[in-house]
Every structure is written in structure tokens, then in C-alpha cells.
């Protein structure tokens, strides 16, 4: 009986060990250098972990081992939480754990934020489930901690702010008590101030290591991606929209070269076109914008902001079509599916105010929020969506399992 109760833990531990025995050699990508050097463009959590592990163990393999063990723990905690809440049998729990390993096998050795973000997402969703079922100080403390850690892992998780506001509103209506308003407010304020304090501290420390007049400093964020979108949807004539004559000439040169490479929307040829155009536009723009920024004594990101606002304003319809194409060309099912889940669960929650509708609403809006950020502010890559999509799939599998089990009782 004791072995049966610990079967899931034994299988997860065995899976973690087998993965590491296969290989713990790190895989580096171009983006890995940002985390190895502690780029100011990224939140500090992952680069800080790399720094500490390398300081102690002098090896990147130690990071692979750490993130593999962390995700293994996340999978265990998630499956045990779901097992207890939905009273799953051992077979279903085991299948759930095995499925959660599948995406992780693809990226566990990558020196990127995916392993850390995946593990944190599993724990984040676990404590959201616990908080809905049992609102207490312990659960909201850990829930808040994992929100902060996700925000400090990737800028992508900025969508958590509106998500947790919606979630806390649901918690309030579920408990029907004004006493928890203060606790929820304190939690949200702590998340906001701690997250921004660490970001500000990181920026302050990193600015001491770079030249303050570096035109590429802070070349990241929303306008970095909006600029790519703006160039993609524009034609050469749109350069005349820029009031600054010298900047207009610079944009004209960029748009001409983009057109020569057939990297703008008029050459749209189906799936993947924007993804391939992204790097072309980025590389063509860099030299022109850096040269212009040096002459004007400003930063590249400020120039990109000005360009993006003007071009998107003029081509707003084309921009919205581009957002839709990003959605349709990638994983459109994972937008419509959580959308209908969110709509259905919201109506049921308003009517019944119970655990399951709120949890489904939370999970579906978590998925929708992640997809929205990716579609609006970057290239659509599966690794950006793994934090939400696989958890949603697993939950759908669990719901169907429960429904079939109930049906078999009759």
C-alpha cells in the first residue's frame, strides 16, 4: 500500500534521473549569451541563478541538473495537487505526470528560461488551485511568491498583472467576505513593489557595467517588437509619414532593403513568413538606426518607438490583420479553445460561484493572456507557449477522464 501511494513520486524521480543520465550537457543558443552575461534586457532571476551556480560549481552542467530537478519537483507537486482535488486514480495521475515530462524532454538542457518558467508555471497553477479551495495566508503567500518569480523570469509574464486582478476578484466573490479584500490588496501591492524593486535594482547595477550613452541600451520591450511589426506592414511610401526629414530618409532606406529581400507583408506567402521576415528586418534596421541614433544623440529604442507609433497608426487595419495572421498561422486552436472555456466557465461561475468554474476561468485566461502577449509583441514560437498550453491540455485530459469515470458508474 505504501509503494502504491508513492508510485507517482517514484516514477517522477526515476524519470528525472533517466533524463540526466542520458545527458546533462548544456545546449547554448544565441539567446543564451544574454543570460550568461546578465543582459539588462531581461529580468534578473535566471541570469542570477546561472551566476550563483557557476560560482559554486564552475560548470553549466550544474544549471541543467538544477533546472531538471526543479521541473521534476514541479511536476510532482502539480500532479499531487490535482490528484487530491479531483480524487484521481493512480493510473490517471501517472499518465498526467508522464505527459508533463514530454515537452520538458525537448528543452531541459537548454540554457534558456523555458525550464525554469515551466517549473514555476506548474507551481503557480498548483497554488492557484489551492487558493481557490482554501483561502488562507499560507496559500496566498506562496501564490504571490510564484507570481513574482515568474515576473522576474521573463518579461513575457507581464500579463500576470491583469490575470491576478481578475483572479482575485473571483476569489473575493467565491468567499463572499469583505475581510479578504485587505489580504488580496496587500498581496497585489507586494507583488507589484517587489517585482519592480528587483527590476530597478537590476537596471541600476547593470547600467554601471555599460556606457550610459550606448544607443543600444534598453533596446527591448514592447516597442522593440512593435517596430518589427510596423516595418513589416509598411511600404516605401510610408516613410513620408515620419516628420523628421533625416529619419524619414533612414526609414526609406530600411523599407527599400526590406522590400528587396521580399520581407514585407505584400510578399506574404503563408505560414512562417513573418517569422523569417523578423530577423531580416531586425538585421537590416540595426546599422541604419544605430548610425542615426549616434548622430541624434538618442537611443535606438526611442527611435523605434517614434517609428512604430506613426506607422501602426497609419496602417492600423493591416496591423490587426497581422496579429490575426500570427494567431492563425501558429496555434489558433489554443486561442479558440481557451476562449470558449473562459466564456463558459465565467457564466457558470456567475451562476454557481464554485471551485471548478473559477479554476477553469483562471487556467483559460492564463493561456489566453500568454498567447495575447506573444501574438502582439513578438514572433510566435512554441517555446513561448509551453508554459500554458501543455498544462491546459493536461487539465482537459483530466476533465474527460473524470467524465468517463462518472459515466461508467451508471
pLDDT at residue number 406: 64
Inter-residue contact 351 to 339 (CB < 8 Å) = no
Question: Do 231 and 138 fall into the same domain?
Answer: no
Question: Do 162 and 259 fall into the same domain?
Answer: no
Question: Do 239 and 155 fall into the same domain?
Answer: no
Average pLDDT for runs of 10 along the chain of length 410: 65 90 88 83 90 91 95 94 88 88 88 93 96 93 97 92 94 84 94 93 69 54 84 87 84 90 80 77 88 82 88 88 72 75 91 89 92 74 80 88 67
Question: Do 313 and 232 fall into the same domain?
Answer: yes
pLDDT at residue number 212: 39
Per-residue cell: 50 = 546561472
In a domain, 332, yes or no: no
Q: How many domains does the chain have?
A: 2
* Residue in this structure with the C-alpha cell 498567447, named with its chain if needed: 371
DSSP letter (8 states) at residue 27:
B
User: pTM score, two decimals?
Assistant: 0.83
- Between CA 237 and CA 108 the distance in angstroms is 46
Question: Do 16 and 126 fall into the same domain?
Answer: yes
In a domain, 201, yes or no: yes
DSSP letter (8 states) at residue 208:
T
Domain end: 147, 178, 207, which one?
A: 207
Question: Do 12 and 98 fall into the same domain?
Answer: yes
Question: Do 175 and 267 fall into the same domain?
Answer: no
Helices (H), 110-178: 114-133, 137-151, 160-175
pLDDT at residue number 270: 65
Question: Do 166 and 108 fall into the same domain?
Answer: yes
Domain end: 296, 324, 352, which one?
A: 324
Domain around 178? 2-207
For residue 210, give every residue at least 6 positions away whose Cβ sits within 8 Å of its Cβ, in sequence order, or none.
Answer: 40, 217
- Between CA 171 and CA 301 the distance in angstroms is 39
In a domain, 392, yes or no: no
Domain end: 271, 293, 324, which one?
A: 324
- Between CA 86 and CA 92 the distance in angstroms is 11
Question: Do 230 and 186 fall into the same domain?
Answer: no
Question: Do 6 and 70 fall into the same domain?
Answer: yes
Amino acid at each position: 500500500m505504501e509503494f502504491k501511494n508513492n508510485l507517482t513520486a517514484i516514477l517522477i524521480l526515476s524519470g528525472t534521473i533517466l533524463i540526466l543520465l542520458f545527458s546533462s550537457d548544456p545546449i547554448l543558443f544565441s539567446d543564451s549569451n544574454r543570460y550568461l552575461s546578465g543582459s539588462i534586457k531581461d529580468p534578473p532571476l535566471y541570469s542570477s541563478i546561472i551566476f550563483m551556480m557557476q560560482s559554486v560549481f564552475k560548470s553549466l552542467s550544474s544549471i541543467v541538473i538544477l533546472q531538471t530537478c526543479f521541473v521534476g519537483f514541479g511536476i510532482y507537486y502539480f500532479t499531487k495537487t490535482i490528484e487530491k482535488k479531483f480524487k484521481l486514480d493512480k493510473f490517471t495521475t501517472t499518465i498526467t505526470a508522464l505527459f508533463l515530462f514530454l515537452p520538458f524532454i525537448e528543452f531541459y538542457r537548454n540554457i534558456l528560461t523555458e525550464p525554469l518558467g515551466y517549473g514555476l508555471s506548474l507551481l503557480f497553477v498548483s497554488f492557484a488551485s489551492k487558493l481557490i479551495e482554501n483561502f488562507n495566508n499560507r496559500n496566498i503567500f506562496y501564490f504571490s511568491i510564484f507570481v513574482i518569480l515568474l515576473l522576474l523570469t521573463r518579461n513575457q509574464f507581464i500579463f500576470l498583472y491583469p490575470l491576478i486582478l481578475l483572479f482575485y476578484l473571483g476569489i473575493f466573490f467565491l468567499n463572499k467576505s469583505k475581510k479578504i479584500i485587505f489580504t488580496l490588496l496587500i498581496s497585489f501591492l507586494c507583488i507589484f513593489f517587489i517585482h519592480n524593486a528587483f527590476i530597478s535594482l537590476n537596471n541600476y547595477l547593470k547600467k554601471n557595467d555599460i556606457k550610459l550613452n550606448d544607443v543600444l541600451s534598453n533596446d527591448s520591450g514592447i516597442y522593440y517588437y512593435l517596430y518589427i511589426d510596423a516595418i513589416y506592414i509598411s511600404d516605401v511610401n510610408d516613410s513620408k509619414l515620419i516628420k523628421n526629414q533625416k529619419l524619414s530618409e533612414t526609414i526609406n532606406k530600411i523599407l527599400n532593403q526590406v522590400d528587396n529581400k521580399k520581407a514585407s507583408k505584400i510578399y506574404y506567402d503563408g505560414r512562417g513568413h513573418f517569422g523569417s521576415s523578423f530577423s531580416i528586418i531586425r538585421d537590416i534596421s540595426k546599422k541604419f538606426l544605430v548610425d542615426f541614433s549616434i548622430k541624434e544623440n538618442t537611443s535606438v529604442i526611442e527611435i523605434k518607438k517614434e517609428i512604430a507609433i506613426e506607422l501602426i497608426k497609419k496602417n492600423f487595419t493591416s496591423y490587426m490583420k497581422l496579429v490575426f495572421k500570427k494567431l492563425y498561422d501558429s496555434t489558433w486552436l489554443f486561442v479558440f479553445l481557451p476562449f470558449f472555456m473562459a466564456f463558459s466557465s465565467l457564466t457558470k461561475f456567475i451562476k454557481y460561484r464554485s471551485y471548478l468554474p473559477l479554476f477553469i476561468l483562471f487556467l483559460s485566461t492564463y493561456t489566453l493572456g500568454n498567447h495575447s502577449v506573444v501574438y502582439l509583441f513578438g514572433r510566435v514560437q512554441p517555446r513561448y507557449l509551453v508554459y500554458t498550453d501543455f498544462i491546459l491540455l493536461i487539465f482537459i485530459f483530466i476533465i474527460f477522464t473524470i467524465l468517463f469515470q462518472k459515466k461508467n458508474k451508471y
